[in-house]
Amino acid sequence: MTRNLDITTATMTNTLQPPPEKIVSLNSQETFDSIDGTVGIPLVDDPKMTSRGVNVFYDGKQAIFDVDLDIGNNEVIAMIGPSGCGKSTFLRCLNRMNDTIPAAQVTGNITVDGRDINSPDFDPVLLRARVGMVFQKPNPFAKSIYENVAYGPRIHGLAANSAELDDIVISSLQKAGLYDEVKDRLDAPGTGLSGGQQQRLCIARTIAVNPEVILMDEPCSALDPIASARIEELIDELRENFAIVIVTHSMQQAARVSQRTAYFHLGKLVEVNDTSSLFTTPEHKLTENYITGRFG
Ligand SMILES: Nc1ncnc2c1ncn2[C@@H]1O[C@H](COP(=O)(O)OP(=O)(O)O)[C@@H](O)[C@H]1O
Ligand SMILES: [Mg+2]
């Protein structure tokens, strides 16, 4: 008897409370439909790169939807979002790496210094020197440390003689924060370095061809925390000379290294804001759900 009464009281109490806030499912059609354009500040004055109306399809299935985004000079812009939301796909648009994936088709307009990177007269090899890329897993060539860095400058004819090539190799290793650790063994294989050193070697290799933009796709995900911290410091130093776009699954890392952060969800660019505002006062509900870990 008493027990029944308790249940009734509890039920009545519940009906008096407001219904719990509806939590949308991470991947539902409803969530997808609710994303209508990008909030925040996707565009900047005097951009280094621009993307307008960019879509990407894999075998006809759309993975990126109508993205408008600028990359500023000397900024680090972080790209975050749930796995599979299109971060790597969008990043690859910026130096035409999707050209190397037969199933991929990119539409829309992307420029660097105002020039359409997809126009037939833009050599993709030159583009990839100007817009370099560092991958998730360090991938040094099976060559010496020296040759890993010298490879690009040789191909692009950047050094008139071996002394000039030495200068490029040394200064690239210095900028990548690796020179002091390897200066006595430049002839040793790059693959013999630790994971963190290999990733800095790959950064040196990218820097050696004078890029203007560096794309990094989860560059620390295969590294331990100390090696990751070293890469993060490096990113901050590199910003003086390059624009950097970094995909990261770590919100803490995005908060530490970037000035703007872009939040992708289900292939759409939901929000771009300066990093501190995005993490403290997100404008879009989906951004808020993601950064607070609240997804149903
Ligand atoms: N090479 C590919 N072929 C077919 N589909 C792909 C390919 N790469 C990515 N995709 C699809 O595109 C979507 C976005 O993937 P991706 O860009 O890798 O996301 P993220 O980097 O955010 O994890 C996913 O649905 C993924 O399955
Ligand atoms: Mg990815």
Cβ partners under 8 Å of residue 292, min gap 6 = none
pLDDT exceeds cutoff 50 at 143: yes
Q: Nearest bound ligand to CA 135?
A: 2
Both ends of the chain: CA-CA distance in Å?
A: 37
pLDDT exceeds cutoff 90 at 241: yes
Cβ partners under 8 Å of residue 179, min gap 6 = 170, 173
Q: Nearest bound ligand to CA 219?
A: 2
Pairing of strands 76-80, 104-112: unpaired
Residue 139 counted as domain residue: yes
Per the CB < 8 A criterion, the answer to whether 208 and 170 are in contact is no
Ligand 1 binding residues, C-beta < 6 A = 58, 63, 81, 83-89, 101, 103
Cα-based distances in Å from 117 to 111, 170, 195, 209: 5, 31, 33, 18
Residue 224 counted as domain residue: yes
Residue 91 counted as domain residue: yes
Residue 261 counted as domain residue: yes
Tokens describing residue 257: 């290294």
Residues with C-beta atoms within 5 A of ion ligand 2:
88
Residue 32 counted as domain residue: yes
Residue 248 counted as domain residue: yes
DSSP run (H or E) holding 126? helix 124-130
Average pLDDT over residues 273-277: 97
Average pLDDT over residues 98-115: 97
Give pLDDT, residue 10.
41
pLDDT exceeds cutoff 60 at 1: no
| Max CA separation in the chain (angstroms) | 97
DSSP run (H or E) holding 162? helix 162-175
Average pLDDT over residues 287-295: 89
Residue 124, domain extent: 5-291
pLDDT exceeds cutoff 70 at 8: no
Torsion angles phi and psi, residue 281, rounded to 5 = -135, 70
Helix, strand, coil percent content, the chain, rounded in steps of 5: 40, 25, 35
- Of residues 187 and 4, which shows the higher confidence score? 187
Closest by CA to 74, choosing from 213, 168, 184, is: 213
pLDDT exceeds cutoff 60 at 179: yes
Cβ partners under 8 Å of residue 127, min gap 6 = 95, 96, 112, 117
* CATH code (residue 131): 3.40.50.300
Number of domains in the chain: 1
Residue closest by Cα to atom 23 of ligand 1: 84
Beta-carbon-side half-sphere exposure of residue 214 (alpha carbons within 13 Å):
29
pLDDT in tens, 21-50: 555 577 889 899 889 999 999 999 999 999
Tell me the C-alpha distance between 250 and 230, whole Å: 15
Residue closest by Cα to atom 1 of ligand 1: 101
Per the CB < 8 A criterion, the answer to whether 152 and 129 are in contact is yes
Task: Determine the atom of ligand 1 nearest the C-alpha atom of 247.
Answer: 21
**pTM, 2 dp:** 0.90
Average pLDDT over residues 64-70: 98
Residue 126 counted as domain residue: yes
Residue 296 counted as domain residue: no
Q: How many CB atoms lie within 10 A of CB 19?
A: 7
Q: Nearest bound ligand to CA 137?
A: 2
DSSP run (H or E) holding 238? helix 225-238
